[in-house]
Amino acid sequence: MNPNDGVSGARMAGEERRLQILAVAVSLFSNRGFRGTTTKEIAQAAGVSEAMVFRHFATKEELYAAILDHKACRGGESFEPEKMAAEGINRKDDRAVFEALALGALTHHEHDPDFQRLLLHSALEKHELAQMFFDQFVRRVYEFLGGYIRQRQREGAFIDIDPAIVVRCFIGMVMHHSLNNNLWDPSRRLLNISNEDAARHFTDILLKGITAPSPNSTKD
């Protein structure tokens, strides 16, 4: 989709212009990387002057921060794990918690593959956006989900295992599946299942590995 479609460049409101430049920047960065994209190219693709780009984003770093804030934190397409899992956590429904998080992540990346590619570029190029994303989002997920796992361990629901290992295993399943679908096997030749089925199966695998045996399930 061309971010300029249907837009009257000269008359676009300030916030619309800012969001348009963000959309163009994400598209270019995700396809060419950060080192391969200049502010001049962003301006040309957005149909504005380079001065207009700097009017909205004084530096490239400010542009990166705005992308992260819009796409991962408070944007209209945000992924907010605490809200997604809130209902399941309140009921102490472990299946609901992990299924909601898996489905939310898979759906989010399916709808926004550009941001996933952008994060890969930032990590491979050791770009500051990668560390920003880790600090503002990844670390938060580990702390939030790890806290829930620790609580369930204290209640005897989960076996005694480092919560960070559980989180890593869970995220690993979800992200590997997402990367396969978006980058390596978009035609889904290896595995063609819905996001709902994937979330359910990944949750099955995880819970079978970490759920504590019932006190009544003693061997004869």
- The answer to whether position 52 is within a domain reads yes
Residues 195 and 102 placed together within one structural domain of the fold: yes
Residues 94 and 158 placed together within one structural domain of the fold: yes
Spatial distance between the Cα atoms of 27 and 8, rounded to a whole number of angstroms: 20
| pLDDT (0 to 100) of residue 92 | 94
Greater model confidence, 162 or 84: 162
Could you read off the pLDDT of 146-163 as tens digits, one per residue?
A: 999 999 999 999 999 999
Q: 185-214 as b/e, with b when 16 or more CB fall inside 10 Å?
A: eeeeeeeeeebeebbbebbeebbeebeeee
| pLDDT (0 to 100) of residue 72 | 57
Residues 100 and 190 placed together within one structural domain of the fold: yes
* Structural contact between residues 108 and 99, judged by C-beta atoms closer than 8 angstroms: no
- The answer to whether position 114 is within a domain reads yes
For residue 22, what is the domain's CATH number? 1.10.10.60
- Indicate if the pLDDT at residue 132 is higher than 70: yes
Residues 124 and 157 placed together within one structural domain of the fold: yes
Q: Which two structure tokens, joined as six digits, stand for 129?
A: 């956006």
Poorest-confidence range of 3-12, 32-41, 166-175? Answer: 3-12
Domain range enclosing 187: 81-210
* Structural contact between residues 22 and 15, judged by C-beta atoms closer than 8 angstroms: no
| pLDDT (0 to 100) of residue 3 | 46
Residues 115 and 194 placed together within one structural domain of the fold: yes
Place 59 in a pLDDT band, splitting at 50, 70 and 90.
confident
- The answer to whether position 50 is within a domain reads yes
| pLDDT (0 to 100) of residue 99 | 97
| pLDDT (0 to 100) of residue 116 | 83
- The answer to whether position 68 is within a domain reads no
- The answer to whether position 76 is within a domain reads no
- Indicate if the pLDDT at residue 142 is higher than 50: yes
Poorest-confidence range of 27-31, 180-184, 186-190, 214-218? Answer: 214-218
* Structural contact between residues 4 and 20, judged by C-beta atoms closer than 8 angstroms: yes
Residue % of the chain over a pLDDT of 70: 88
Spatial distance between the Cα atoms of 63 and 52, rounded to a whole number of angstroms: 13
Residues 51 and 110 placed together within one structural domain of the fold: no
For residue 85, what is the domain's CATH number? 1.10.357
Q: Which two structure tokens, joined as six digits, stand for 118?
A: 């952008």
Residues 124 and 51 placed together within one structural domain of the fold: no
Could you read off the pLDDT of 40-57 as tens digits, one per residue?
A: 999 999 999 999 999 999
Residues 115 and 147 placed together within one structural domain of the fold: yes
Domain count within the chain: 2
- The answer to whether position 126 is within a domain reads yes
- The answer to whether position 63 is within a domain reads no
Please give the backbone phi and psi of residue 99, each rounded to the nearest 5 degrees, phi first.
Answer: -65, -40
Residues 87 and 50 placed together within one structural domain of the fold: no
Q: In angstroms, what CA-CA distances link 38 with 23, 116, 188, 209, 214? A: 15, 20, 34, 47, 59
Greater model confidence, 62 or 49: 49
Residues 198 and 147 placed together within one structural domain of the fold: yes
Residue % of the chain over a pLDDT of 90: 52
Spatial distance between the Cα atoms of 153 and 30, rounded to a whole number of angstroms: 40
Residues 107 and 52 placed together within one structural domain of the fold: no
Q: What is the mean pLDDT of residues 124-143?
A: 85
